[in-house]
């Protein structure tokens, strides 16, 4: 799925996108780079994709695992530890 999201971007643009911490940064990058996002890319930025383009930087508060899944709920982003099941807001 991630490969599809980066389709049409240069290697440099992909590296910049991977370090974005949230949707606002990703959208700002697209605007700065003059990138027109596809419908699928816009849906991913707006929460349609359950993964995340960047790796969460904080470990699980319960077990300290970095095996984290980030997803968008109804109004905000959440993290879920795939090792112990703990969920918390980003």
**9 and 23 both lie in a single domain:** yes
**5 and 35 both lie in a single domain:** yes
Convert the pLDDT of each residue in 35-90 to its tens digit: 877 766 766 665 544 444 445 667 888 998 988 888 777 667 788 899 999 988 77
- DSSP class per residue in the chain: -HHHHTTT--HHHHHHHHT--SHHHHHHHHHHHTPPPPHHHHHHHTT-SSS-SS--SS--TTT----EEEEE-SSSEEEEETTT--EEE-
**60 and 82 both lie in a single domain:** yes
The pTM assigned to this predicted structure is 0.45
**2 and 46 both lie in a single domain:** yes
Domain count along the chain:
2
Query: Which residues form the domain of 2?
Result: 1-50
Convert the pLDDT of each residue in 3-44 to its tens digit: 666 777 888 988 888 888 777 788 888 888 888 777 667 666
């Amino acid at each position: 799925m991630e490969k599809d999201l980066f389709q049409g971007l240069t290697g440099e643009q992909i590296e910049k996108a991977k370090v974005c911490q949230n949707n606002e940064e990703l959208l700002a990058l697209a605007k700065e780079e003059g990138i027109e996002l596809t419908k699928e890319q816009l849906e991913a930025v707006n929460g349609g994709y359950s993964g995340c383009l960047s790796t969460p930087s904080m470990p699980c508060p319960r077990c300290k695992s970095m095996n984290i899944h980030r997803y968008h709920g109804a109004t905000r982003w959440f993290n879920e530890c795939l090792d112990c099941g703990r969920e918390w807001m980003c």
